[in-house]
Chains A and B, each alone.
Chain A
Amino acid sequence: MEATFGSTEFWRNGPQPGALYKFPGHVNTTQASQIGAAKRTLAPTVTGTSVLGLCFDGGVIIAADMLGSYGALARYRNLSRVMKVNDSAAIGISGDYADYQFMKSVIEQRVIDEECLNDGFQYTPKSLFSWMTRVLYNRRSNFNPLWNTFIVGGVQDGEPFLGYIDKIGVAYNDPTIASGYGAYIAAPLLRDAFEANPKMSLAEAEKKIDECMKVLYYRDARSLNKYEVAIVTKDGTMIKSPIVSETNWEVAHMIKGYE
């Protein structure tokens, strides 16, 4: 009796403490089982939809709605997806919110370290853009991506700057930027507006952004009618939150049936 009680044969092939149990008939799926618990973002969980960016005369404006979607569920309706880095740069984020929170803490710590050096220098939008591109591309090359799209904007040497960085490391800069569904719906509107008036004022830019956010609310099924805006000018960075655009549903009176 003593022999069987303390014997390791008692629970043969059972789970080791702290490890995952291999069920009988288990098929050895390479990646997942070798990693154990998922340590890499394989699919995004809470996501943010499009982010828009527009250059105007003397600065940039970055807009993102305040929704965190859990798949098709509109779960978190008060998330901030724009972040002030310093007085010359701001970023807007779409994609996995957890990965953004990680990046946010890294950036905040770096900004603090920069302040501690007390040499009068701070992160410029272009240097921030360059650094983030390298981080994202590096992570993608190690099959451990940050599942985000970052829009980096700011004013450098008096010139406005807007950059786009993808989870696979695609990076470019342009006077008008849109990520996610915004690329299909809002980008044509932003491009039109910029081509017609490259030196628009802040008020005009805000109006254009509001128009685009409204159209996105009409046509993107994972959006919300409440958004935030980060405005960077030579005078500093300002975050306006929350903004609710007025929507017009009058067209509903013209629609009856489907044939």
Chain B
Amino acid sequence: MASTLLAETPRGGFSFENCCRNQFFEQKGIKAPTAYKTGTTIVGLVYKDGVVLGADTRATEDTVVADKNCSKIHYISDNIYCCGAGTAADTEMTTQMISSQLELHRLNTGRTPRVCTANRLLKQMLFRYQGHISAALVLGGVDSTGPHLYSVYPHGSTDKLPYVTMGSGSLAAMAVFERGFKPNMEKEEAKKLVRDAIAAGIFNDLGSGSNVDVCVITKDKVDYIRPFDEANLKGQRQGSYRYKKGTTAVLKTEVKKIPFEVVKKTVRAEPMETV
């Protein structure tokens, strides 16, 4: 019954299979694993020739920085990219799932996928999970109908706008956008505005930090610039504290060989790990 159209044709209705089990666990005191969040600033902007997406690179686990340079701009298809905020696993797996579904769709239709298709797939999946998949996405791309930019919320609503921001640093980034956005900007202007918006998030929000990644999508090509701006470089050590060789005088040198013998050799087949 393997369908060649889409990887999964989901059954209608909501799946509450695990709710009873989860409740039972809670009662017994077994705590659910905490989510590994991204606490982010992600932005998207439509300019003259296409779409510019931007993201910071800090991944947080509550108040600790788990990854100083993670990649938040995910590949959906050759002409569509998606920035993700929220739980890192959710954004990663959701975008990968939609990417594979879109690839099968592309092979089936023989056409370059449209951004609105990716949007539909994303919102239908997220709504099905009623917000439990904590993925807030900025989806952008250029297709045969032109450049498009969407913001997708964890509960499944979408907005189609000329400029969007998501994540904990979204208010700081949106303030910069509201100040500087103009319709039909030039590429360099657009890249600078995106960089400034992410920088506002990085320096004014504690959940965002490190570098600025930028992805410029046009009709003909995609420019994935990572990093676009290394805003937070680690300080350089001023001097070296290593002692020079010969500081401590060597009195005597002796080389000994440690004898050992092979007792037993076993060869064992290990099955490949599959998901």
Contact = CB atoms under 8 A, between A and B. Distances in A.
Interface string A225-259: 00000000000000000000000001100111111
> Number of contact residues on A: which range applies?
20 to 34
Contact of A251 (B123, B158, B179, B183): B183
Given A250-B183, A251-B183, A259-B116, A189 B175 contact: yes
Contacts, number: 60
Nearest to B168: A184
Contacts of B178: 214-215, 218-219
Contacts of A188: 172, 175-176, 200, 203-204
B159 interface: yes
A191 B204 contact: yes
- Interface hub of A191, A214, A251 (most chain B Cβ within 10 A): A251
Contacts of B200: 188-189, 192
B108 interface: no
B161 interface: yes
B174 to A, nearest CB: 6
A244 to B, nearest CB: 17
Contacts of B183: 250-251, 254
Query: At the interface, is chain B mostly helix, strand, loop or mixed?
Result: helix
Contacts of A212: 175
- Main secondary structure on A side of the interface with B: helix
B162 interface: yes
A185 B175 contact: yes
B174 A257 contact: no
Contacts of B181: 251
A11 B47 CA distance: 78
A54 to B, nearest CB: 15
B81 interface: no
A93 interface: no
B231 to A, nearest CB: 13
Interface string B88-120: 000000000000000000000000000010011
B204 A259 contact: no
Given A211-B179, A259-B120, A251 B162 contact: yes
Interface of B: 46, 116, 119-120, 123, 150, 157-162, 171-172, 174-176, 178-179, 181, 183, 200, 203-204
6 contacts: A184-B172, A191-B203, A212-B175, A258-B158, A258-B159, A259-B119
Given A188-B203, A192-B200, 14 more contacts: A185-B171, A185-B172, A185-B175, A191-B203, A191-B204, A212-B175, A215-B178, A215-B179, A254-B46, A254-B161, A254-B162, A258-B158, A258-B159, A259-B160
